[in-house]
Structure 1
């Protein structure tokens, strides 16, 4: 199977299944997957994060659950993303485990920030740093950081240039003694990444080396 973050981009973010509850299959659904999903649903997150269930992909693994989230402040979406939990009870050679987390995170940037040559490396370090900051063990991480710029012409020429950063990634969460990873903590770390790429300050004490993007509040007064 190709890298999960690549397949997630197929079609409409790879969401070709239904929105049915993964527990609707009754006893067919593995207990470990049900427990992992319950932990996601019960996670307590920062108030700036708005989370909703999403239609999961059906071709990446036998079992899947998806969430969409946005960082919202003053009715403005500062960043958004999607987190997919995959589960294959038989294990997967590429994952080196039975669970896999796949994500897409994106945010608008000021053009001068997007031009920073170190931005991709910094954004990737935000993902790994968010996981490490929560004390999470994981393996087989892979992904891409993409920045794109749009310039407008003709009838749209009055629009200012727009830039966007996008992180696509996947990793294998380490399973506990009960065979279930701490998905609530992984979701919290993922939300830390969302807030960081949105330019929000950390929710708690952080290392002085952590770099945040400037908050985006629309056009500034001259």
Structure 2
């Protein structure tokens, strides 16, 4: 997906390449990427994209998701994926660039990531969920050969209980991830791809390429 705005020629070439690669990244199906307003005071140059879950799944994908949800919900690394919910799930990926530091640091491209998703009750109560969510990010970056240093962040799983006349579900669970890292190369497509996989996983989207067999 190409950038939605023209990048002025006065902007450093590395930054222009990075912005283009964020929009041209081959993200997995079920995720859309659009340009959003970036923060203005964190770095001389910044750009941001928003990632949203597209719930317009095909019949086969819905069946695959239902089968996935029927499996044991214990979250163990490399196995279970949260069951799909009708709740919100979104991500924000922000690129921060300071050309003045490029010659004096391991990389001038800093990425800041944020994910928030409503979770299925059974999965959200599993104490391993934060560890698994973090593994989704680190393993996704490694699988795409993304050049990453100084990776750090937090994963928080919360529960909200409503009482009295407050509207909404009586009990709701959310997962929130905040992470940042330095990209060693201006091509950020692998970073965006890995981030889209994290969002797809926490949203409970069925794996890509899943075929539903035995249907009449």
TM class by smaller structure: 0.7 to 0.9
Counterpart pick for 1:135 among 142, 145, 156: 145
Contact 2:29 2:208 in 1 (8 A): no
Question: Which residue does 2:51 correspond to in 1?
Answer: 69
Counterpart pick for 2:113 among 95, 99, 103: 103
Question: Take 1:94 and 1:107, find their aligned partners in 2: how far apart are those partners?
Answer: 37
In structure 2, do the counterparts of structure 1 residues 93 and 194 end up closer, same or farther at CA, with 3 Å as the change threshold? Answer: farther
Question: Which residue does 1:122 correspond to in 2?
Answer: 132
- RMSD of the alignment, in Å? 2.5
Question: Which residue does 2:25 correspond to in 1?
Answer: 43
Gaps of 5+ in 2: 58-85, 211-216
**In structure 2, the residue corresponding to 1:70 is in which secondary structure?**
strand
Contact 1:22 1:65 in 2 (8 A): no
1:58 matches 2:40: yes
Encode CA deviations 1:128-149: one digit per residue, 9 max, x unaligned.
0110111222110110111111
Query: How far is the alpha carbon of 1:203 from its aligned partner?
Result: 2.4
Q: Where do 1:1-222 residues align within 5 Å?
A: 21=5, 23-24=7-8, 26-27=9-10, 29-74=11-56, 79-91=89-101, 96-156=106-166, 159-175=169-185, 180=186, 182-203=187-208
In structure 2, do the counterparts of structure 1 residues 197 and 166 end up closer, same or farther at CA, with 3 Å as the change threshold? Answer: same
Encode CA deviations 1:54-75: one digit per residue, 9 max, x unaligned.
1011111111000011112238
Query: How far is the alpha carbon of 1:167 from its aligned partner?
Result: 0.4
Question: Which residue does 1:215 correspond to in 2?
Answer: none
**In structure 1, the residue corresponding to 2:192 is in which secondary structure?**
helix
TM-score after normalising by structure 2? 0.74
**In structure 1, the residue corresponding to 2:101 is in which secondary structure?**
strand
**In structure 1, the residue corresponding to 2:108 is in which secondary structure?**
strand
In structure 2, do the counterparts of structure 1 residues 96 and 163 end up closer, same or farther at CA, with 3 Å as the change threshold? Answer: same
Gaps of 5+ in 1: 1-19, 206-222
In structure 2, do the counterparts of structure 1 residues 130 and 95 end up closer, same or farther at CA, with 3 Å as the change threshold? Answer: farther
Contact 1:95 1:172 in 2 (8 A): no
Aligned residues: 179
In structure 2, do the counterparts of structure 1 residues 69 and 92 end up closer, same or farther at CA, with 3 Å as the change threshold? Answer: same
User: Larger relative contact order (C-alpha < 8 A, sep ≥ 6)?
Assistant: 2
